[in-house]
Structure 1
């Protein structure tokens, strides 16, 4: 029985997901939910079930355990040994996951595209762990919440079964856009009581604008290699995208702009290096003065960097979210419907193009058009951000009641930003 049924006993809360692996978007969603729990329920005991527990504990100082047996024990010494350990781990997790989840009253999956297949994804990896977590929580009496998550229609039958099975067992579900909710409905889930709310990153505090004299562009890059269906063409897809980004970076430098390169995952550093190496070779006099590249450990740090730019051109979804949160005129080089849906919500649908067909001349035209419209775009983005903050504040009331049995009238203080 959950300790929440015992008045005065602190709730034991676990966050679950691909955390501790360096993905800034995932951690941005976590940061927003951490702020909610700590503000509304400061007595709660917080820990995490994640992909990188050691890195997570280093960064947050919060106790963490590995999501799977294989992550806990590590790979084998040989390929055969490694495959055997992975197979054993899938069976071991059937007993291990209930033991892990039994220690919690509430398990929260904070945002993230947990039901998406826009990047490479194998059913018996994270989707399997997600399903086991939901099943274990139901078995042990813990409440589970998928909060403002992303989804798309999974074509592979096993993925569909794992996704809908995990979601069906949850106490609370919400999605970050209508498309995600509709995708889960089309895969067979009853979503009639599920909410649609803004991405959790819109609840993060916005840094103050940074004054700067030199026109600066935030260029968000991504080591994009396609989806599961593109494994045979992954290198080709990556090379084509990277070449387009390099070409656009050259144009920006030649046009007199300063570039701030930003990423969202450690893998993206290969594209950063490609851009930096090319500019140092082809524009040696400009590269040192017009190119900025600094690592960021959190989405908050990334937003601090973007506070000093005028326009953002980005590929990763949460790079786009961070830019829009700051009311920056933004172009999305989209690798999934989630980015398209977000740009439509922000009334910037004309300033996007698909990552697979990156057209640099068109991108330059879009950039010039967006720059010219910035005086009207920025106030519209600020108004939309205010609406998102209000919606997320209302959702916090719903979450408190659903997960903690709390009737609260006070609101989490959400930073209005600019």
Structure 2
């Protein structure tokens, strides 16, 4: 191929979800190292953010998004309908400019959080359909999946997956879910989450600080009727745990993974102001995060991590921090088991404070052997990621030509 490849990046990107944007960053780094001069183009939720970050053109994923903050009532409903009619044509116009479109990581084939069929599943289906019409290739790279019960959501997801040129999953659970929904996965591989490719700082000296990653948790797609109850129970457990830590002389750093998580941080801080008014300044901190690199840098300063969001847990494991997962989906448990920490999990839907404290004490008592296990598992993960990038090259024009090996290294 005489010209550099034209690669589109598609997904819920630039919207404030650190995990999604971290997976994207790993792919962009790979593309720019392997294909000097590659022409990138984004179709995403935050086009301005993507253009500012990567200096490449970007298009809104959905026509309605720019109007979401101003339109109300019947006017908003009409604009949404107009958007759903216009979006297939907008997607077609965007896809025809690409040689290949990469959907980088993310849980794009799952419904572990509240999800409506006319949102991202609809967009993903039209991406895959338009690519077939134009001859572009779609690559779903290290994506997450779950068995989806809602019929229309399931139809959009499975048809999009079948139309994709390349599929790989971040765990066996995801591949099995697609198989159960009728997709032929015999040629699909399992590779680690793309965020494992991001660089980490060297290990530092122990600080005694505990990292607590929070989430605006309201249950899954089938829990809408009791969403507030689940949220209140989860926040109560987290506030109780942070109180326990400070009462035992520990300092705490709070982490988020999405803009939506900020109210949970404020609820914990408000609880401490009300119930521990004499607590000295700096014992519990929550610095702002804008990228997954920020999260990794801040998480490197703590000794132990208790977290809910998948990519909070992943970053802690990548840093070889003894980690406890309060998981909102089975993918958390699978990730923890793969890194040798299966016993240090419990579900966010029924988190038990007494058990959480007992698990935390056990985790800290076994710090040294668990850290050694994590270091070895991370080595194996890096090797699998190198295979993933080699496999991905086969979907990109010129990808089979000799090229520098892709190194999983620093920025």
What 5-or-longer segments of structure 2 have no aligned partner? Answer: none
Match of 2:354 among 350, 361, 366: 361
Match of 1:46 among 5, 20, 40: 40
Conserved? CA contact 1:204–1:415, under 8 Å: yes
Deviation at 1:331, TM superposition (A): 0.3
Conserved? CA contact 1:386–1:416, under 8 Å: no
Residue correspondence of structure 1 range 10-409 to structure 2 within 5 A: 10-74=4-68, 77-213=71-207, 215-407=208-400, 408=402
Deviation at 1:268, TM superposition (A): 0.5
- Where 1:331 maps in the other structure, the secondary structure is strand
Q: Distance in 1 between matches of 2:174 and 2:109?
A: 8
Deviation at 1:402, TM superposition (A): 2.4
Q: Distance in 2 between matches of 1:72 and 1:64?
A: 13
Deviation at 1:404, TM superposition (A): 2.7
Tell me whether 407-416 or 272-281 shows the greater mean CA deviation. Answer: 407-416
Q: Distance in 2 between matches of 1:211 and 1:77?
A: 52
Deviation at 1:229, TM superposition (A): 2.3
Q: Distance in 1 between matches of 2:84 and 2:360?
A: 48
Cα deviation code 1:252-274 (max 9, x no counterpart): 00111110000000110001001
* TM norm structure 2: 0.97
Q: Distance in 1 between matches of 2:363 and 2:128?
A: 44
Conserved? CA contact 1:397–1:409, under 8 Å: no
Conserved? CA contact 1:76–1:85, under 8 Å: no
Tell me whether 102-111 or 57-66 shows the greater mean CA deviation. Answer: 57-66
- Where 1:280 maps in the other structure, the secondary structure is helix
What 5-or-longer segments of structure 1 have no aligned partner? Answer: 1-6
Q: Distance in 2 between matches of 1:143 and 1:385?
A: 31
Conserved? CA contact 2:198–2:410, under 8 Å: no
Conserved? CA contact 1:130–1:166, under 8 Å: yes
Aligned residues: 410
Conserved? CA contact 2:106–2:144, under 8 Å: yes
Q: Distance in 2 between matches of 1:74 and 1:311?
A: 40
Match in the other structure for 1:415: 409
Q: Distance in 2 between matches of 1:406 and 1:89?
A: 36
Conserved? CA contact 2:307–2:313, under 8 Å: yes
Deviation at 1:227, TM superposition (A): 2.1
* TM norm structure 1: 0.95
Match in the other structure for 1:4: none
Q: Distance in 2 between matches of 1:287 and 1:165?
A: 55
Deviation at 1:212, TM superposition (A): 4.9
- Where 1:410 maps in the other structure, the secondary structure is coil
- Where 1:10 maps in the other structure, the secondary structure is coil
- Where 1:308 maps in the other structure, the secondary structure is coil
Deviation at 1:76, TM superposition (A): 6.0
Deviation at 1:412, TM superposition (A): 1.4
- Where 1:321 maps in the other structure, the secondary structure is helix
Runs of 4+ in 1 over 4 A off after TM superposition: 72-76
Deviation at 1:409, TM superposition (A): 5.8
Q: Distance in 1 between matches of 2:149 and 2:330?
A: 15
Per the alignment, do residues 243 and 163 of structure 1 end up closer, same or farther by CA in structure 2, a change over 3 Å counting? same
